[in-house]
């Protein structure tokens, strides 16, 4: 692996002032061997943006339009050869950054999705969320033949060319779209297991709106239903 491989760690953020500092510290600690850009697309009303900038992160401010819209903006603005995504709530393990970068740069992969739905997962995720996530992954395995177990994950690693080629378009179901459309575009994908942690701060996800969007997304790209991206 090149000594100064350039990576971008990108995160959408919304009122994460309690978590953003520890997140940036964890990213810095685990990316010392890389030329690292930390990028937030932020819609906060608290001090998230101020804290992030004071710690050297690049921050793009935008009105709140949804998690996927913010993440798409972060992906498109990233300058690294490899882009790693995370939520900004301390749930995802930044100690996996070196391994994700190694798998992409040395093993010839184009995109990696990180699976939280494994034997180590406990009370960190509500039971209803677990049920929905497992159902969506089952549908993707069945309808697309993609061997995944978590299609709602917020942690990916991908080559910049994936972002430039696929041009993602959804909002509430973006993680599922990333997996499905990347694989269908011919990019080499792998899923790896990661631990998942209790979030810092309040939950902002609308479970029902998100669940309906995931179901529509899975059916839309498989059967060409023509559902507008803003509904997904």
Residue 224: give its domain's CATH number. 3.90.550.10
**Structural domain contains residue 1:** no
What pLDDT sits at residue 58? 98
Residue 221 lies in a domain: yes
* pLDDT for residue 208: 82
In a domain, 153, yes or no: yes
Domain count along the chain? 1
So what's the pLDDT on residue 4?
Answer: 81
51-98: pLDDT as tens digits: 999 999 999 999 999 999 999 999 999 999 999 999 999 999 999 999
* Cα–Cα distance measured from residue 40 to residue 74, given in angstroms and rounded to the nearest whole number: 7
Task: With beta carbons less than 8 A apart as the criterion, state whether 167 and 191 touch.
Answer: no
Q: What is the pLDDT along the chain (232 residues), one digit of tens a residue?
A: 445 899 999 999 999 999 999 999 999 999 999 999 999 999 999 999 999 999 999 999 999 999 999 999 999 999 999 999 999 999 999 999 999 999 999 999 999 999 999 988 888 888 899 999 999 999 999 999 999 999 999 999 999 999 999 999 999 999 999 999 999 999 999 999 999 988 775 666 677 889 999 999 999 999 999 999 999 9
Provide the pLDDT for residue 205: 60
- The closest of 12, 77, 17, 74 to 43, measured between CA atoms, is 12
* Residue 178 included in any domain: yes
Q: Which domain holds residue 211?
A: 6-231
Residue 109 in any domain: the answer is: yes
* Predicted local distance difference test score (pLDDT) of residue 1: 46
Distances (CA, A) of 29 to 7, 82, 144: 14, 18, 38
Question: Do 171 and 214 contact (CB within 8 A), yes or no?
Answer: no
Relative orientation angle of helices 174-184 and 127-144, to the nearest 10 degrees: 20
């Amino acid at each position: 692996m090149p000594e100064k491989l350039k990576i971008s760690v990108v995160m959408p953020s919304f009122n994460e002032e309690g978590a953003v500092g520890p997140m940036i510290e964890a990213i810095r600690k685990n990316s010392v061997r890389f030329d690292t850009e930390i990028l937030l697309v932020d819609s906060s009303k608290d001090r998230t943006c101020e804290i992030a900038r004071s710690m050297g992160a690049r921050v793009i401010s935008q009105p709140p339009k949804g998690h996927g819209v913010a993440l798409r903006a972060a992906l498109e603005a990233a300058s690294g050869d490899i882009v790693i995504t995370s939520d900004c709530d301390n749930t995802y393990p930044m100690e996996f950054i070196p391994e994700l970068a190694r798998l992409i740069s040395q093993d010839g992969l184009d995109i990696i999705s990180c699976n939280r739905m494994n034997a180590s997962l406990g009370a960190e995720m509500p039971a209803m969320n677990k049920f929905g996530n497992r159902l969506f992954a089952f549908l993707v395995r069945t309808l697309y033949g993609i061997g995944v177990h978590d299609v709602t994950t917020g942690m990916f690693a991908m080559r910049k060319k994936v972002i430039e080629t696929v041009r993602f378009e959804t909002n509430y179901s973006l993680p599922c779209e990333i997996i499905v459309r990347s694989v269908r575009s011919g990019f080499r994908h792998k899923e790896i297991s990661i631990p998942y942690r209790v979030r810092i701060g309040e939950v902002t996800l609308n479970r029902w709106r998100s669940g309906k969007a995931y179901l529509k997304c899975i059916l839309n790209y498989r059967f060409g239903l023509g559902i507008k991206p803003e509904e997904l």
